[in-house]
Amino acid sequence: MQTKFVLTLSDVRAIAAAAEAEALANQWAVTIAIVDDGGHLLWLQRLDGAAPISAHIAPAKARTAALGRRESKVYEDVINQGRTSFLSAPTLEGMLEGGVPVMVDGQCIGAVGVSGVKSTEDVQIAKAGIAALA
């Protein structure tokens, strides 16, 4: 039997607080979503001024990163390079940059998805949140 790491509520709160701080420091109105390794939503936070659609996009990005065990940008790049058939991949809806897996000892234990600003800025916020676990 193997032992695996999981995100605890205190971990999720730490990620969320750090991600929120990064967004607020840059005056970015975003939605922050945190999921477990199965893509199940653990946290959703829509900052003041964030577009309503971002509350749908952020969890989808996070879920895609968790289930794929890689940044959601990988899927966006595959599609943009012409493999449009990948759009039919089951359960992957957030194939846009902004979903980042949370990795511990080479294992994915969850992911953070952010939506609301430029995709590179979404990633910046997600990674700032994940860095809070270090």
Per-residue tens of pLDDT for the chain, all 134 residues: 989 999 999 999 999 999 999 999 999 999 999 999 999 999 999 999 999 999 999 999 999 999 999 999 999 999 999 999 988 888 889 999 999 999 999 999 999 999 999 999 999 999 999 999 98
Which pLDDT belongs to residue 129? 98
Which pLDDT belongs to residue 111? 98
| d(C-alpha 116, C-alpha 66), whole Å | 20
Which pLDDT belongs to residue 86? 82
Residues forming beta bridges with residue 102, ordered by sequence position: 110
The answer to whether 101 and 110 have CB atoms below 8 angstroms apart is: yes
- DSSP H or E stretch at residue 24: helix 9-25
Which pLDDT belongs to residue 105? 93
Backbone angles phi, psi at 131, to 5 degrees: -60, -20
Which pLDDT belongs to residue 110? 98
The token pair that represents 3 in the structure block: 């032992």
- DSSP H or E stretch at residue 128: helix 119-131
The answer to whether 91 and 84 have CB atoms below 8 angstroms apart is: no
Which pLDDT belongs to residue 91? 83
Compute how many other C-beta atoms are within 10 angstroms of the C-beta atom of residue 11: 18
Q: What is the pTM of this model?
A: 0.96
Which pLDDT belongs to residue 62? 98
